[in-house]
Amino acid sequence: MALTPAAKASDFSEPWKNADRALVIDAYEYNPIDWGQLATDTRIVGFINKASDGMPPPYSCFGDETEARLCKTLWKRHAVAQELFQTRKVVAKALGLKWGAYHLARPGNPIGQANNFIDFAQPDPDDLLALDIEDDDPTQWMSLEDAEEFVRQVHRRVGRFPVLYTNGSTARHIAENRYKYRLLSRLPLWYARYKPDIGVHFPMGNWQGYALWQFSAKANCGRFRCPYRVAGTPTDIDVNVAPMDAAALRAQWPFGGLIDMQPDYLASIPVPLSREAALAGNVTITYATVATPPSFDEMVSVFSARWARFRDSFQMPAVVTAAPRQPRGIAEYVAWARKEKRAASPFEAAPSTGDTLSTASTESDRGLR
């Protein structure tokens, strides 16, 4: 199912200048927010907050004094971040904003990271979920192969798919290898690129548009110049634009399905749920049933049969022997009868004994003697 419409040309060139386009803020725990001032910007429809970061800290602290102190500091930071996350969620929803959570993907253990994300965010059915892959560098961030497993685990836990957040080069790599990354290439795309125009860079061969475009961040927003300033937020806040108005974005939020799903992709993934079913909750996850791929012996048998038909089509047709012409008239009949009598052998007239060669005397033989 297509969850995002094909973007117009104008949505690839400074769409935030169009007052009809909805905006979304995304923040992490160190971004201060003045909620009263932020609420004055009526174009802000949603707020996506950072949830988990890789794996949670260990439950027990071991080691020397320095290691124990570091472990406790990480636990304190984790607890404070989770408390702030839930507080912001309550405030944002009270202001009528749509809520979302993203997971910062780290190398290793995609199943554990997915579980950490769901346990941290505790998402409601209408909360957007996002997987943040900062770059295609498996030494620093989650590999794309592990990201596929992360997405599957999120779907197993909540019955819907996350949005994919990534930069332009990684999105293009996924699009060019969409038969390898069959889930990542079908997630709604949260596109990060800090340029005024992305028309020549966007991977249109796979995605026909973006769900969100992160166009403003610390990279291109400062004290004196910024693509868009949101009241009540610092200059390093991330601002995103949607290729639709506020009403359309609220209707599609929290996304959660796959884009342009192909039939052959169903062999390895669960069947996605409709938005209405996901919001209703208490759903049963089902998996697609597809025909089993043919075995090697079956393919050889089919090939052999087709080759035999092809070969036989080049054989010469059978030659039909014409029946001998019957004699006409008395003279021809007499000549024919004499020829047949001379050609007849005494042995041919004898009854067959079934042997290949017989040396026994016959009545004809005795008569000749």
Question: Would strands 238-241 and 212-216 be described as parallel, antiparallel, or unpaired?
Answer: antiparallel
Q: Which residues contact 120 (CB under 8 A, 6 or more apart)?
A: 51, 52, 56, 82, 85, 101
Cβ atoms of residues 168 and 197 within 8 Å = no
pLDDT at 184 (0 to 100): 97
pLDDT category at 2 given cuts 50, 70, 90 is very low
pLDDT category at 72 given cuts 50, 70, 90 is confident
In tens, the pLDDT along 241-252 reads 999 999 999 999
CATH of domain 21-265: 3.20.20.80
Question: Would strands 98-104 and 44-53 be described as parallel, antiparallel, or unpaired?
Answer: parallel
pLDDT category at 368 given cuts 50, 70, 90 is very low
In tens, the pLDDT along 143-200 reads 999 999 999 999 999 999 999 999 999 999 999 999 999 999 999 999 999 999 999 9
Q: Where are the beta strands (DSSP E) in 158-260?
A: 163-167, 189-192, 212-216, 238-241
CB-side exposure of 170: number of CA atoms within 13 Å? 23
Instruction: Give the domain ranges of the chain.
Output: 21-265
- In the DSSP assignment, the letter for residue 136 is S
Q: How far apart are CA 49 and CA 84, in angstroms?
A: 10
pLDDT over 70 at 212, yes or no? yes
Which range, of 114-118, 255-259, 307-311, 323-327, averages the lowest pLDDT? Answer: 323-327
Q: How far apart are CA 178 and CA 170, in angstroms?
A: 12
pLDDT category at 261 given cuts 50, 70, 90 is low
Q: What is the 3-state secondary structure (H, E, C) of 248-274?
A: HHHHHCCCCCCCCCCHHHHHHCECCCC
